[in-house]
Amino acid sequence: MPDVYAPTAPVALVTGGNRGIGREVCRQLVGLDHVVLLTARSAKAAQEAAAELGPGVLGIELDVTSEPDRVRVADEVRERFGRLDVLVNNAAVAYDTWQRAVSADLDYVREAAETNLYGPWRLTQTLLPLLRASRHGRVVNVSSGAASLADMGAGTPAYATTKVALNALTRILAAELRADGILVNSVCPGWVATDMGGPGGRPVADGAAGVVWAATLPGGGPTGGFFRDGVRVEW
């Protein structure tokens, strides 16, 4: 990693930063004078996206399901910055509109959980000493309205159950990390026109803005909440 960044700038790590909402979150955070660690499971994709977004964005290989990747990235962040101010758990898979719970492939559900639940959970654990070293740690778990129990109906069983579990993780971590001053929230970006969302959704910038809002909350801001566009939504 090049040693060219002001150590006082907030340091943010975004997973799945090579495309879609994650990439736009990186773009908005660097615009807010963060040093952005744009991570992607392809090193090439990470580096290309970082180069496109310009100075202040570093591309780093990180498959959230890979323990060696998580450990290497934590080592790099520790050596270069000594802390992490913002973690955005954005990477996700398996918007399984073709499945129904009554007949779902449970192996597929378990695989989805590796990326959508255990990946962010393990990454947060691995980065926790660095988040604690920040004076204003923020964790944003990018969730979905599909995880809202209040609205839940048939379909997308892998996606919905893993995002519900991610929301539970948000609540538990928020309570456990409150004393450390680390704010942990879930954010639904709304329906956004990405590869996952498909055409017809709202602009990526609008979906990313609510994520960036939670990533840049002031001290004393909310924790353990579920938000869309900075407004609470029902669990």
Ligand X SMILES: NC(=O)c1ccc[n+]([C@@H]2O[C@H](COP(=O)([O-])OP(=O)(O)OC[C@H]3O[C@@H](n4cnc5c(N)ncnc54)[C@H](OP(=O)(O)O)[C@@H]3O)[C@@H](O)[C@H]2O)c1
The residue type of 234 is E
CB of 49 to ligand X, least distance (A): 9
Site string for ligand X, 200-219 (x = CB under 6 A): -x------------------
Q: Which residue, 146 or 174, has its beta carbon nearer to ligand X? A: 146
Query: Per CB under 6 A, does 142 bind ligand X?
Result: yes
Minimum distance of ligand X from residue 179's CB (angstroms)? 28
Burial tier of 162 (Cβ tally within 10 Å: 0-12, 13-18, 19+): buried
From 3-11, 27-35, 173-181, 194-202, span contacting ligand X (CB under 6 A): 194-202
3 state SS of 163: helix
- Spatial distance between the Cα atoms of 193 and 232, rounded to a whole number of angstroms: 22
We find the least distance from the C-beta atom of residue 52 to ligand X, in angstroms, to be 14
Lookup: tokens for 140: 């944003």
Q: How far is the CB of 191 from ligand X (least distance, A)?
A: 4
Strand order, beta sheet including 57-61: 57-61, 35-40, 11-14, 86-89, 138-142, 183-187, 226-228, 231-232
Residue 16 is a binding residue for ligand X (CB under 6 A): yes
- The answer to whether 29 and 36 have CB atoms below 8 angstroms apart is yes
| Whether 5 is catalytic | no
Locus of tokens 């559900």? 109
Pairwise CA distance, residues 84 & 90, whole Å: 16
Can you say how many angstroms the Cα of residue 222 is from the centroid of all Cα atoms in its chain?
A: 17
Does the footprint of ligand X cover residue 20 (CB under 6 A)? yes
Binding span for ligand X by CB under 6 A among 74-82, 84-92, 168-176, 219-227: 84-92
CB nearest ligand X: which residue?
A: 20
Q: Which residues bind ligand X (CB under 6 A)?
A: 15-16, 18-22, 40-42, 45, 63-65, 90-93, 115, 119, 142, 144, 188-189, 191-192, 194-197, 201
Catalytic residue numbers read 159
